[in-house]
Amino acid sequence: MTALAPILIVDDNPSNTKLLAFLLSTKGYEVRTAANATEAVAALAGWLPRLILMDIQLPGIDGLALTRQLKADPRTSSIPIIAATAYAMKGDEERALQAGCSGYITKPIDTRQLPLDIERFLAS
């Protein structure tokens, strides 16, 4: 099976990262992971994914600040970034979209819906 689009998962929770990576890799995606903004920027230095799944609550630089940074960089500005958060509060989706995210999903992840969401975001 040839790998589908490469995807970067940025999440500091090892359980979430493992679940997301498993779900997407079993669907054929090439998956790489980063636990924080520093690791994400390092991963992007020599590789560009077709999509980034971004946890909003990251240690240090949060996911929205990292999204703004990536959208300001011509090299990474066109990569769709999907915000993911367990702390879905009123206004979070709007803040994510204003930061440059292309979409928003809440945790816990719906394991049946996630691959469909990923396909939809990659197609748009």
Note if the pTM is more than 0.85: yes
What are the structural domains of the chain? 4-123 (3.40.50.2300)
Element (H, E) at 9: strand 4-10
What digits encode the pLDDT tens for the residues 64-86?
Answer: 999 999 999 999 999 999 998 87
What digits encode the pLDDT tens for the residues 16-67?
Answer: 999 999 999 999 999 999 999 999 999 999 999 999 999 998 999 999 999 9
Give the pLDDT score at 88: 64
Which residues fall within 8 angstroms of residue 16, CB to CB, at 6 or more apart? 55, 84, 107, 109
Choose between 116 and 92: higher pLDDT. 116
C-alpha span between 55 and 106 (Å, rounded):
10
User: How many CB atoms are closer than 10 A to CB 18?
Assistant: 13
